[in-house]
Amino acid sequence: MNIYDQVSWNKTKSYIIIFIFIIFISSLGIFLGWLYGSYILGFIVFTIAAVIYSIIAWIEGSNIILKATGAREVTKAEYPHLFHAIEGLSIAAAIPIPKAYVIDDESLNAFATGKDPKNASITVTTGLLKKLNRQELEGVVAHEMSHIKNYDIRIMLFSVVMIGMTILLSHIILRSFLFSDRDRENNNFTIIIIVVGIILAVLAPFIAELMKLAISRKREYLADANGALLTRNPEGLASALEKISEKSELKKADKATAHLFIASPLKAKSFFSNLFSTHPPIDDRIKKLRSM
Amino acid sequence: MIGLIIGITVGVIILGGIFLYNSVIRLKNQVDNSWAQIDVQLKRRFDLIPNLIETVKGYAKHEKEVLTNVTKARTEFLSAKTIEDKAKADNQLNETLKSLFAVSENYPDLKANQNFLQLQEELAGTESKIAYARQLYNDTVMEFNTKIETFPNNFFASMFKFTQRQLFETDKEERKNIKVQF
């Protein structure tokens, strides 16, 4: 696949994610509506809500992500070398200059977000700025720049916003079922159990499908390779990854945004980081870069 | 019938020609655009140098030779018109700046000067931007040159007077040399 195929495939994937999400919410509306008497009303209300949510995600998604990760926009006077790296690599990649954001955290990590290269930003931690030299910083920025150029950022944006909401909703349904007051009539309660069972059965494949689209370990390898092509210096990123692997866990990280980052920001021992490991082993990435 | 076949053939050739012509033009514009990127950065560095010289003068009066060399290289750069000359002048400017920064190592006061540090970072940043712009430019030129050389584009290329573009070549070592520590 060349870069143009990648871009158009990534765009298509983004639309599929939105589409599956709206279908999922609509069917949820039908079931809930059915439970409360009018499935048509449920369908209409939930579909409208899903469409509005998607529009908000499209317009405000990257700002929501930046807020959630605690990133703040910085000026050139504050971090001139970060700006130089970003400006230089946007020239090399021939895309508009992304905005620069910083997370105040001693750990080393970075991510890019936005819906397209014109509306993109690159975020790095202050720890990363402190510990990496120029070549290493350029390596990391180049990795993020290729995520932007490829439209990986669009898929990742929608997967964060849509999958986040999907998982949240399924949790709410599950919890409200588990903790619903059981003093109600026995007969009524049985119906609820059946309905919740059906809803969860419908839900599971949707979530699985969304996950499959969004999570691709290949994406990280590809961004490493394209990044190395931009700097013409694979060693920069390789030695940056070495430093990052020593301390990449962020204070303010959650599983919804974890797969945006260059290295997993979650605690290595956490159950989720193993189960939904979105990042290929960092040693392997370093080895691949060094063999270029 | 024969008229129809001839008509279709001519139509296909003309359409193909238009398509090829447009794709060459698109590449040619990309070449011009990426050249503009280099030019912007070269100019930026050019503008930074007088400031740098002023700052260094305040602390290292005795390094006249180094300072004059930088000024001279800068003036030479101004008179460079062709891509080849510009690349050469750019190289020379790099060399002189490198020795200026090497000399500045001997002046602790200068090295602690906020203005000097800022200029040093600015020049290092500009230098790496020049390198990236050059990389983009050379890649686009390669693509353009290949495009107008291959069949059947070479036929159209000579018809529309498209000529090979020149690469912006510099010393391979140069990127390492100018590596300013921060």
What HEC string does chain B produce?
CHHHHHHHHHHHHHHHHHHHHHHHHHHHHHHHHHHHHHHHHHHHHHHHHHHHHHHHHHHCCCCHHHHHHHHHHHHHHHHCCCHHHHHHHHHHHHHHHHHHHHHHCCCHHHHHCHHHHHHHHHHHHHHHHHHHHHHHHHHHHHHHHHHHHCCCHHHHHHHCCCCCCCCCCCCCCHHHHCCCCC
Is residue B115 one of the residues assigned to a domain? Answer: yes
Cβ contacts of A232 on chain B, cutoff 8 Å: 135
**A120 & A222 share domain:** yes
Strand partners, A125: A103
Burial pattern B85-107, b for ≥16 Cβ within 10 A else e, equals ebbbbbebbbbbbeebbebbeeb
**A93 & A148 share domain:** yes
Is residue B39 one of the residues assigned to a domain? Answer: yes
- Return the number of other C-beta atoms located less than 10 Å from residue A154's C-beta: 28
CB of A80 less than 8 A from some CB of B: yes
* Residues of A with catalytic function: 144
Structurally, how many domains does chain B consist of? 1
Summarize pLDDT for A198-233 with one digit per residue, the tens: 666 666 666 666 666 566 678 888 899 999 999 999
Indicate whether B16 pLDDT > 70.
Answer: yes
Place of tokens 């990363």: A128
* Contacts of A140 by beta carbon, 8 Å cutoff, 6+ apart: A110, A124, A128, A132, A237, A240, A244, A262
* A207 neighbors A163 (Cβ within 8 angstroms): yes
B136 and A81 within 8 Å at the Cβ level: the answer is no
Question: In the β-sheet with A110-114, what is the strand arrangement from edge to edge?
Answer: A71-73, A99-103, A120-125, A110-114
pLDDT for A121 equals 96
- What is the distance between the alpha carbons of residues A55 and A59, in angstroms, rounded to a whole number? 6
**A124 & A221 share domain:** yes
Give the confidence band of B172 by pLDDT, cuts at 50, 70, 90.
low
Q: Which amino acid is at A125?
A: T
B136 and A92 within 8 Å at the Cβ level: the answer is yes
Structurally, how many domains does chain A consist of? 2
Q: Measure the CA angle with vertex A176, ends A175 and A180; round to 5°.
A: 120
- What is the distance between the alpha carbons of residues B162 and B152, in angstroms, rounded to a whole number? 13
Query: Closest approach of chain A CAs to the CA of B162, in angstroms?
Result: 24
Range of the domain at A34: 3-66+154-214
Cβ contacts of B41 on chain A, cutoff 8 Å: 91
Strand partners, A103: A71, A125
CATH number where B169 lies:
1.20.1440.20
**Most B-contacting residue of A76, A82, A87, A91 (CB-CB within 10 A), to test interface:** A91
Residue A241: both structure tokens together: 């990854």
Give the confidence band of B180 by pLDDT, cuts at 50, 70, 90.
very low
- Is the bond into B152 cis (omega within 30 degrees of 0)? yes
- What is the distance between the alpha carbons of residues A173 and B53, in angstroms, rounded to a whole number? 69
- What is the distance between the alpha carbons of residues A256 and A259, in angstroms, rounded to a whole number? 8
Residues from B contacting A (CB-CB < 8 Å) are 34, 37, 41, 118, 121-122, 124-126, 128-129, 131-133, 135-136, 179, 182
CATH number where A241 lies:
3.30.2010.10
Q: Which of A175, A194, A214 is the last residue of a domain?
A: A214
pTM of the model: 0.82
Range of the domain at B34: 24-177
Indicate whether B175 pLDDT > 50.
Answer: no
- What is the distance between the alpha carbons of residues A199 and A11, in angstroms, rounded to a whole number? 29
pLDDT for A189 equals 64
Is residue B150 one of the residues assigned to a domain? Answer: yes
More confidently predicted of B117 and B63: B117
**A119 & A226 share domain:** yes
Give the confidence band of B182 by pLDDT, cuts at 50, 70, 90.
very low
pLDDT for B19 equals 85
B136 and A85 within 8 Å at the Cβ level: the answer is no
Strand partners, A124: A102, A110
**A21 & A85 share domain:** no
**A223 & A249 share domain:** yes
* B56 neighbors B109 (Cβ within 8 angstroms): no
- The closest alpha carbon to A86, from A69, A73, A70, belongs to A73
Residue A96 DSSP SS3? coil
- The size of the A-B interface in CB pairs under 8 A is 43
pLDDT for A213 equals 59
* A148 neighbors A117 (Cβ within 8 angstroms): yes
A37: left (phi over 0), alpha (psi -120 to 50) or beta: left
Is residue B18 one of the residues assigned to a domain? Answer: no
Cβ contacts of B133 on chain A, cutoff 8 Å: 91-92
Indicate whether B13 pLDDT > 80.
Answer: yes
B124 and A84 within 8 Å at the Cβ level: the answer is yes
> pLDDT below 50 — which residues of chain A?
272-273
B135 and A92 within 8 Å at the Cβ level: the answer is yes
- What is the distance between the alpha carbons of residues B165 and B145, in angstroms, rounded to a whole number? 7
**A230 & A135 share domain:** yes
How far CA A230 is from CA of A176, A234, B163, in Å, comes to: 50, 9, 27
Cβ contacts of B179 on chain A, cutoff 8 Å: 134
B129 and A232 within 8 Å at the Cβ level: the answer is no
Q: Smallest Cβ distance to B132: which of A81, A83, A88? A: A88
Residue B174: both structure tokens together: 């140069």
CB of A84 less than 8 A from some CB of B: yes
B136 and A88 within 8 Å at the Cβ level: the answer is no
* Contacts of A42 by beta carbon, 8 Å cutoff, 6+ apart: A29, A30, A31, A32, A33, A34, A36
Cβ contacts of A89 on chain B, cutoff 8 Å: 132
More confidently predicted of A111 and B161: A111
**A256 & A210 share domain:** no
Indicate whether B177 pLDDT > 50.
Answer: no
Give the confidence band of B181 by pLDDT, cuts at 50, 70, 90.
very low
